[in-house]
A = this chain, B = another copy of it.
Amino acid sequence: MPRPRQALLSRQRIIETAANLIDAEGLGAFSTRRLAAELGVRGPSLYNHFATKDEILDAVADSITAQVDVSSFGHGDWRDALRQWGLSYRSALAAHPNIVPHLAQGPGRRPAALAMADAVYGGLVDAGWPPARATHIGALMRYFVTGSALGSFARGFVEDPGFYAAQYPHLSQAHRLAEHQQSVDEGAFALGLDALIEGLSHTYERLVGALPPR
């Protein structure tokens, strides 16, 4: 097929199809040739729209970051902003765990990731955090959220009930974790987020002074 009157591909269509493919089959099964087949074209056609496979992954990653809500920063209590951002950040990433290893490489030149970093850092500094601490908080939140989205804790244990018995005395119930995957992972994230914010509140009081009433 030569060049059609109407272009077969667009960056948008490539990004969406790539995201679906990665969600469904993982980063390992994601190849330019598989993606092209899914789009009804041949592999090389993609190179009219993206320079490399990595650039496609960047675009997919940024389209997911763009879904994170940072509107809570810049007004109100920083603790509420941190919690709302953290929940939104985790929920956006956890919907696409297979792309998280790529996304966790940092914002690089991805616009949505940079806009998020800008809003978070700016919001924390405006709230009174010293700049170095604001950086640390942005970093530690990324650690916690990407780590939680990267791989389910609960699904990390094999489901075979007999597997743990002999060797691991405290893991006799670990085979049941997978059944409760969502509540385990969400419960762990919620407990960690609450603990982080409570701990940071104390640091703030020591460093900056009294917190406003909420």
Interface band, chain A:
35 or more
Cross-chain contact B104 with A171 (CB below 8 angstroms): no
Taking the complex as formed, is A139 at the interface, i.e. its CB lies under 8 A from any CB of chain B? yes
Q: Which of B108, B136, B197 contacts A158 (CB 8 A)?
A: B108
- Report the bound CA distance from A47 to B163 in whole Å: 26
Q: Residue-by-residue, is A165-177 near B (CB-CB < 8 Å gives 1, otherwise 0)? A: 0011111011001
Measuring CB to CB, which residues of chain A are less than 8 angstroms from any residue of chain B? 101, 104-109, 111, 114-115, 117-119, 121-122, 125, 131-133, 135-140, 142-148, 150-158, 163-164, 167-171, 173-174, 177, 184-185, 187-189, 191-192, 194-200, 202-203
3 shortest A-B CB distances, which residue pairs?
Answer: A106-B156, A195-B199, A147-B147
